[in-house]
Amino acid sequence: MAVNVERVEQFAQLINESMSKLVVVDFYSQTCAPCRIVDGILDELTGTYSTVSFYKVDVQRFGEVAAQCQISATPTLQFFRKARKVNEVRGANKKAITDAIDAALDDAASTPKSAYGVVGHADITSTVIASQSECLNQNDDYPMENVFKSDDAVLESDVDEQMVLHVMFNQPVKLHSVMLRAPVERAPRNIKLFANRTDVGFEDAEAGGETQAVEMTKEIYESGGVVNLRYVRFQNVHSLSIFIEDNLGDEDVTAITQLAFIGTAVNTANMSDIRQGEDHSH
């Protein structure tokens, strides 16, 4: 069971505890229905992850702590190692929470990280907010959500071969690479990426101004579908718009089986700045 924080000093202590282990903090409110779902998830996870500490912070009682941790909605779970936030999950999503825990524990291992063959970076696709992401010109029978599944489901275009994908992240990320898997003949060929542009439509994309343009080839797909980005241009990405202009086989329909993002989450909160303030216990 997660431990309720009763004093600001206790929050400072749990941040110190993160110097030697992973600490998960659930920011909740008493009136939040999804927060009660998270309670059940954490009750289960405390038995699964014996080396991880779980805490709960009432944002109404500890408004200053919530503000310094940049909490804007509940439930929000933040993950701390070595007094720094290493990840964040919003909402009562058990898979996203467990994926974040596993990623943080993997990061602590001594062996270098590798995501789809990219050493030193992680698969950060779990930071995508699927419910706030969308695809323009998708076939509704084969929607965008399929690219984030582990099965053979596909995303397909509708009236022609072009698509614009708007991807939202739940925190700022540094993007090192993207990974695409697709049926070769219908696989995307010419792609334009727009960082932090949620207003991109087809005319905007064709007009240019992209952060980076990529030409995919059959060889790239056969070797895993990973394309490295100009890392310096993707350092603080909240959203990514992806314009797909055509496909390898000049087919009428473009298809994608899987889309993944490789990089790191931006550490937006330095927990050494949390001050020990007034006792809020009652």
Q: How confident is the model at residue 90 (pLDDT cuts 50, 70, 90)?
A: very high
pLDDT of 112 higher than 80: no
Q: How confident is the model at residue 110 (pLDDT cuts 50, 70, 90)?
A: very low
69 in catalytic set:
no
What percent of the chain stands above pLDDT 70?
92
Which residue, 37, 8, 256, 265, is CA-closest to 152? Answer: 256
Minimal CA–CA distance to 15: which of 24, 6, 26?
24
Q: What pLDDT, on the 0 to 100 scale, is given for residue 113? A: 54
How large is the average pLDDT for residues 150-177?
93
Asked whether the predicted pLDDT for residue 275 surpasses 50, the reply is: no
Catalytic residue among 23, 25, 35, 69: 35
Domains of the chain in sequence order: 3-111 (3.40.30.10), 123-265 (2.60.120.470)
Q: What is the mean pLDDT of residues 179-192?
A: 96
Q: Is the pTM of this model over 0.85?
A: no
| pLDDT(200) > 60 | yes
Q: Which two tokens stand for residue 158?
A: 């509708």
Instruction: Give mean pLDDT, residues 6-23.
Output: 87
pLDDT value at residue 109:
57
What is the per-residue pLDDT across 113-156, written as a single tens digit (0 to 9) for each? Answer: 568 888 878 888 888 988 899 999 999 999 999 999 878 899 99
pLDDT of residue 269: 41
CB 194 within 8 A of CB 213: no
Is the per-residue pLDDT at 270 higher than 90? no
DSSP-derived secondary structure for 148-190: GSSSS--EEBSSSS-EEEEEEEEEEEEEEEEEEE--GGGSB-E
pLDDT at residue 229 in the model: 96
- Kindly state the percentage of the chain with pLDDT values over 90: 68
Query: Average of pLDDT values for 190-205?
Result: 95
The tens digit of pLDDT for each residue in 33-76 reads: 999 999 999 999 998 998 999 999 999 999 999 998 999 999 99
CA distance to 64, 128, 144, 224, 248, per residue, from 217 (Å) = 51, 26, 22, 11, 7
* Catalytic option among 7, 32, 49, 212: 32
The mean-pLDDT minimum among 91-100, 105-114, 160-169 falls in: 105-114
Active site (annotated) includes residue 135 = no
Identify the pLDDT of residue 171.
84
36 contacts 87 by C-beta, under 8 angstroms: no
**Tell me, what's the pLDDT at 149?**
84
Hunting for tokens 């809020």 — which residue is that? 280
Q: What is the mean pLDDT of residues 186-196?
A: 98
How much is the pLDDT for 71?
Answer: 94
